[in-house]
Chains A and B, each alone.
Chain A
Amino acid sequence: MTSGGNMYGGDEVGAIVLDVGSHTIRAGFAGEDMPKTDLPAYVGSCPAISAAAVESAQPVDGADSGAAKQQQPPRLYHGTNQISVPRPGMEIQALCKDGMIEDWDLFESTMDYLYKHELQCASEEHPLIASEANWNTKAKREKLCELAFEKYRVPAFFICKQAVLACFANGKATGLVLDCGASGTHAVPVFDGYVVSHGIMRSPLGGDFLVRQLDNYLRQQHKLEPVPVYRVASKTRVEEGGLPVWEAKKLPQGITQSYHNLMVKNLLQDVASTVLQCIDEPYDQATAETMPTVPYEFPHGYNMDFGYQRFRLTEALFDPANFLPESPGSSMLSVPHCLRTSVERCDVEIRQSLYSSIVVVGGTSLLKGFTDRLQRDLTARAAATLRLKLLASTSSGERRFASWIGGSILGSLGTFQQMWFSKQEYEESGKSFIEKKCP
């Protein structure tokens, strides 16, 4: 079979699409509308000794587990359900750092789990199309390529930048992709299907940041220590703002701090997505106070009404200098500033086309009022002749999984089948040839 030929027939190739993010990993089959699974991008890692041994020992803090435990590899847990179970000594470990795969052992274990339990298929039977961070390194993409061919024995492989896939899925070869996700906000210019690397701008203002804001607010203003559901055995209904009355669940010893932190974070993410909203004009206390309040009941029974704070907490996305109590005058880039700076770093010839194709993706962009406020702030600062257009899908799936969906369609096009980096080409030319196949 010659390389470049149509290796896999028509549109029904059954390629697997993999989109690795710092928060979750999306995987599924090319041609489908949505990924089969949206797996946490972290694993639970237990020392390889029996639970009984842990309990009979002195209270284990997890961090300083004995040398005896290092003789066997740790037992790893994947998927929200398994990770959520409180287990003695289980540490939560992230696969990615800075949006790129960092811990390859954990990543491999996650891929094994994906193929076996989530996709339930043999890796050697399906081509693999992967997305990569827009600033991924050459070494890391080659390593993924090598892993795909050597360990998973895929018949063909392809890799594409996340922003390019998101841009394509919105019908644009040129556009400014604004990805407002968990780890932060990235503005990535794409020109004729290529990422303009020197134009990439990043800001830490994203979903995790909002969760920290919310955590600070609850601890400082309400003296509330968020108690995740795993610690609660029962609760009694109390008045709004009243002291919570609850019974703690009896838990095994040695629950780790990293596990607890993750459970708190999951809880606060739920609070954030339930109550937070962006106000459509720059924050004004009097206006915010007239807006409807939203009640929230915590797992241990504490319940409260969120009032103007619903809007005040998100204002830092647009005005960090004035709305970050812990670091006044912050030099962090606001979301609109991040976007503008990214465009300004590009050639003056393409700026108008970037501004008229702003592709908004990422879970944090789903905050109510986010795109309206963004549009308002950009318009307020733009020249009158500038044409601005935001492309933001109304479907939350399309917004959260934009890159995966782009990969899904690309991988299912009949004509794309000749574009793969085939096993044969890999064997003839090696992993560095990926640069030529997927520039």
Chain B
Amino acid sequence: PICLQASGVKVQQEVLDTFQEIKTNHCYRYLLFGFVNNDKEIGVLKKAPADATYNEFIEDLKDSVNRKVGCYAVYDLVFEFEESKQKRSRLVFVSWGPDGIPIRQKMLIASSKVELKNKLQGIFKELQASGIDEASEECMLELCRQGDRGAN
């Protein structure tokens, strides 16, 4: 299905393939997607190994601010359920359109998001952030725990 109210930016097959890998094999900690090919397509910018830390993820987000671009991420978050202490792993989709990037970049990030997210089946929660404080590990954990409370 095509999403009509959007930028028309295409999603590269590699994005879907690496997403399938992180979903089934949990072989990456996180993936970064961004605009490539003259902003005509969304491609894979980075596949972070499974032992990467949340700090590295934050550094990557900061780096994108320096380069004045936005990006998307899928983070494989491992956390303990509050009561049972049962460990679980969940995929969080992050839409990163930081303050201070050009409006054109903000437009691209916002208007292409739905098209991309619809193609990534199996996302547990979604985080839309424009500042580092909103993309912190705490925020992500809180978001996931809320969801789990509801589910259990």
Contacts and interface: CB of A to CB of B under 8 A. Distances in A.
Interface string A381-406: 00000010101000000100000011
Interface stretch (B43-51, B57-65, B99-107): B99-107
A406 B107 contact: yes
Contacts of B39: 413-415
B107 A173 contact: no
B8 A168 contact: no
A353 B131 CA distance: 13
Interface string A163-177: 010011111111000
A172 B4 contact: no
Given A398-B103, A409-B103, A357 B130 contact: yes
Interface string B77-121: 000000000000000000101110101111111110110010000
Nearest to B111: A168
A343 interface: no
Interface of A: 160, 164, 167-174, 192-194, 353, 356-357, 387, 389, 391, 398, 405-406, 409-410, 413-419, 436-439
Contact of A173 (B10, B40, B104, B110): B110
Interface in B23-55: 38-40
Contacts of A415: 7-10, 39-40
B6 interface: yes
Nearest to A4: B2
A174 B111 CA distance: 10
Given A174-B128, A193-B5, 14 more contacts: A168-B111, A169-B103, A170-B106, A171-B98, A172-B106, A173-B114, A356-B128, A357-B128, A357-B130, A389-B130, A410-B111, A413-B108, A438-B5, A439-B4
A419 B98 CA distance: 26
A174 B117 CA distance: 13
Contacts of A387: 134, 139
Contacts of A398: 103
A258 B85 CA distance: 71
Given A160-B5, A387-B134, A171 B110 contact: yes
B4 A168 contact: no
A169 B6 CA distance: 13
Given A414-B39, A419-B8, A193 B114 contact: yes
Contact of B107 (A168, A192, A417): A168
Residue among A170, A193, A357, A416 with max Cβ neighbours from chain B (10 Å): A193
Given A172-B97, A419-B6, A436-B4, A389 B108 contact: no
Contact of B109 (A171, A416, A437): A171
Contacts of A437: 4
Contact of A439 (B5, B8, B106): B5
Interface core residue of A174, A194, A387, A409 (most chain B CB under 10 Å): A409
B8 A417 contact: yes
Contacts of A391: 99, 130
A391 B104 CA distance: 16
Contacts of A194: 5
Nearest to B40: A415
Nearest to B41: A415
Contacts of A416: 7-8
A192 B114 contact: yes
B107 A410 contact: yes
A195 to B, nearest CB: 10
Nearest to B10: A415
A417 to B, nearest CB: 7
A435 to B, nearest CB: 10
A356 B103 CA distance: 19
A248 to B, nearest CB: 48
B5 A173 contact: no
Nearest to B115: A193
Contacts of A356: 128, 134
Contact of A414 (B38, B99, B114, B130): B38
A193 B8 contact: no
Contacts of A170: 106, 110
Given A194-B5, A419-B6, A169 B107 contact: yes
Contacts of B111: 168, 173, 193, 410, 413
Contacts of A167: 110
A414 to B, nearest CB: 6
21 contacts: A171-B98, A171-B101, A171-B105, A171-B109, A171-B130, A172-B110, A172-B128, A192-B113, A192-B117, A193-B6, A193-B113, A193-B114, A356-B128, A387-B134, A389-B131, A398-B103, A413-B8, A414-B40, A415-B9, A415-B40, A419-B4
A353 B8 CA distance: 24
A406 B106 CA distance: 10
A415 B7 CA distance: 6
Contacts of A439: 4-5
- Most chain A Cβ neighbours within 10 Å, of B99, B130, B131: B130
